[in-house]
Amino acid sequence: MRNRFSVILGLSIMILFVLGITLSAVSQEKTYELKVSMVITEDDTIYKGYEKFKEGVEKRTNGKIKVELYPAGILGGDEEILEQIALGAGICVNTDAGRLGVWVPEIGILLCPYLTDTVEEMQKLLKSDLAKEWFEKLRKEKGYVVLAFNWYAGGRHFITKKPISKPEDLEGLKIRTPGAPVWQETIRALGATPVALPWTEVYTALQQGVIDGAEAQHPATYGSKLYEVAKYITLTGHIQLWNAPVVGEKWFNQLPPEYQQILFEEAEKAGDYATQLLLDSLDELEAKMTAEGAIISEVDTKPFKERAEAVYQKLGYEELRRQIQDFLKKQ
């Protein structure tokens, strides 16, 4: 009886083993499509990073994951795309901490003004276990998978129709910014009135006088030619914008584990690549915009930083900010 049981057990284990191999082989034969949605243009260094991401993913999966890039908001706005992702769509959206921070407040601090002093400090924070805890919370609670958060898009500066040299110059101006609380409160603290508009509508809104200015990083400003309708660019660097490729857990969980790991690894590699491209291109972008009529000015950022303190108080980020400062001191 005992021998018979052993034989049955052995056969069962063998069947499960063979079945596992078969299922794994089937999953490896299946192909997947991933559409990457972004509002930036093809000239942007972030877009070039996604070209590198596409190349790496398709090569390492032997084409089993096909990546298609959709710039300039072709697929729709981030909020709309995030809704589709939550339902299981095979879309990756290039987004930021402002939007994700609506669901996980800790992530929102990444867009708070003057959070770190250098790009290197922010890179350490974004790749730390502290930040990864926030991203894991987003996955568990909302079903969004952050593939990497090391895609540097640049410092945010003001683009206005009149020159700005101090926060008081912003008073009474309607400045376009995304609708998430951290964006809105930052612009309000610095003295202007925030106006939420889709990025694709900013040029026309400036042209028609609906808004008096906007705030953006150099690649986006250059790509959308905003300086044609608002020629003053003031280098406040009030927000350091970092982007992240985000997919839905429902779609992500369909992938074999090795493909999931490839997405994580290639997203981080491409993020580092895009970051370096951006840093190497800043002087050239400023030269191009100046040649086309933009007036770019440096300012004393101290009064802007002093006003920005109100954002941390307003959004309840004072304690979390202290944790981040302690973390960076130890690095």
Identify whether 14 is part of a domain. no
Identify whether 5 is part of a domain. no
Identify whether 129 is part of a domain. yes
Which CATH number is 273's domain given? 3.40.190.170
What is the pLDDT at residue 330? 83
Identify whether 6 is part of a domain. no
* Number of domains forming the structure of the chain: 1
The first and second tokens of residue 188, run together, are 């309000």
Identify whether 115 is part of a domain. yes
Domain that holds residue 174: 30-330
Q: At a CB cut-off of 8 Å and minimum separation 6, what does 259 contact?
A: 32, 61, 64, 65
Q: Is 193 helix (H, G, I), strand (E, B) or coil?
A: strand
Identify whether 188 is part of a domain. yes
296 pairs with which residues across the strands?
233
What is the pLDDT at residue 4? 53
What is the pLDDT at residue 116? 95
Contact, 222 vs 289, CB < 8 A?
yes
> pTM, whole model, 2 decimals?
0.86
Identify whether 321 is part of a domain. yes
DSSP letter string, 106-117: HHHGGGSTT--S
Q: What is the pLDDT along the chain (331 residues), one digit of tens a residue?
A: 445 545 454 555 554 454 444 444 444 579 999 999 999 889 899 999 999 999 999 999 999 999 999 999 999 988 899 999 999 999 999 999 998 999 999 999 999 999 999 999 999 999 999 999 999 999 999 999 999 999 999 999 999 999 999 999 999 999 999 998 999 999 999 999 999 998 889 999 999 999 999 999 999 999 999 999 999 999 999 999 999 999 999 999 999 999 999 999 999 999 999 999 999 999 999 999 999 999 999 999 999 999 999 999 999 999 999 999 999 988 7
Identify whether 150 is part of a domain. yes
38 backbone dihedrals φ, ψ, rounded to 5°: -150, 150
Q: At a CB cut-off of 8 Å and minimum separation 6, what does 327 contact?
A: 125, 128, 130
The closest of 56, 104, 14, 33 to 247, measured between CA atoms, is 33
Give one word for 104, left, alpha or beta, with left for phi > 0 and alpha for psi -120 to 50.
beta
What is the pLDDT at residue 6? 52
Contact, 131 vs 320, CB < 8 A?
no
